[in-house]
Amino acid sequence: MTAFPPATTVTEAVLTRRSIRNFRPDPVPLALLREVLDKARFAPSGCNYQPWEAHVLTGAPLAALQEKMKGAAPQDPPEYRWDAPSESDRHKGRLHEVGAAMYAAMSIERSDRAARGDFAAMNIVSFGAPVVMLIHFPRLMLEPQWSDVGMWLQTVMLLLREAGLDSCPQEYLWAHARLIKEHIGVSDKDQIFFCGLAIGYRNAEDPVNAFERTRVPLDEQIVFQGF
């Protein structure tokens, strides 16, 4: 497989970052991960709370967790609600648009529920990523701090691109939040599980990692005044 080149500018990191859904099995050096995450500590956070916490798993600990999740039903009640935007036709349409492009890239028909289900199940093994970061933080954190965690995650993902690595943020793992917290030794009472982040090297030859992603035109979302 041909290695995907690292980003050399912030712009390139932004434009080449995408959610990777087929990773190469190549191991990721611990020293490289530590370097990326050490730099990401300087992401902004309101009042300097730095609310993010995480466990980074690979090898046997990751495989053991994935085996547990394979045999487990999604937890009830859920850790949090992720699908509120689907109540807006405008935002729901964006979800359908990217889903259609992704499945078309894999030649999976809309009517092929079995193939779609098999692909969705790949979330459990983080699409073959050799490393998964499990992000959690204290339950006392509210909306501003959730935003801070998002800024930190974006910083991590861009730094990964600079290092020649790729990622896939996985809200999907929210379905097994309590199981994950138990596995990594984190208190369910005190901590909320946010998401996983699959980390590794992309399989650049797989169409699922190369389909065109659309974005809303700038002027549809941003208003400039006083210029």
- Kindly report the CATH number assigned to the domain that includes residue 17: 3.40.109.10
Task: Kindly tell me if the per-residue pLDDT of 137 is higher than 60.
Answer: yes
The 53-58 sheet, strands edge to edge: 53-58, 131-138, 191-200, 166-170
Stretch 17-37: mean pLDDT: 98
3-state secondary structure of 189: coil
Stretch 84-89: mean pLDDT: 93
193, part of any domain:
yes
62, part of any domain:
yes
216, part of any domain:
no
47, part of any domain:
yes
Question: Radius of gyration (Cα) for the chain, nearest Å?
Answer: 18
Classify residue 215 by burial, with Cβ atoms within 10 Å: 0-12, 13-18, 19+: exposed
Structure tokens at 102: 């992704």
Q: Are 188 and 182 within 8 A, CB to CB? A: yes
Secondary structure (DSSP) of 191-206: EEEEEEEEEE-B-TTS
Helices (H), the chain: 10-16, 30-40, 59-70, 89-105, 113-121, 143-162, 177-184, 218-221
In the structure, what pLDDT confidence band is assigned to residue 3 with cuts at 50, 70 and 90?
confident
Q: What is the pLDDT of residue 2?
A: 62
How do residues 146-157 score in pLDDT, each as one tens digit?
999 999 999 999
Q: What is the pLDDT of residue 116?
A: 92
- Domain coverage including residue 61: 10-79+124-209
How do residues 196-220 score in pLDDT, each as one tens digit?
999 999 999 999 999 999 999 999 9
Q: What is the pLDDT of residue 173?
A: 97
Task: Kindly tell me if the per-residue pLDDT of 1 is higher than 80.
Answer: no
119, part of any domain:
no
Total domains present in the chain: 1
56, part of any domain:
yes
The angle formed by the CA atoms of residues 22, 156 and 101, to the nearest 5 degrees, is 35
Pick from 7-11, 55-59, 79-83, 186-190: least confident: 79-83
2, part of any domain:
no
35, part of any domain:
yes
Structure tokens at 184: 């990594």
Q: What is the pLDDT of residue 30?
A: 98
In the structure, what pLDDT confidence band is assigned to residue 92 with cuts at 50, 70 and 90?
very high
Compute the distance between CA of residue 211 and CA of residue 227 in angstroms, rounded to an integer. 36
Quote the mean pLDDT of the chain: 96
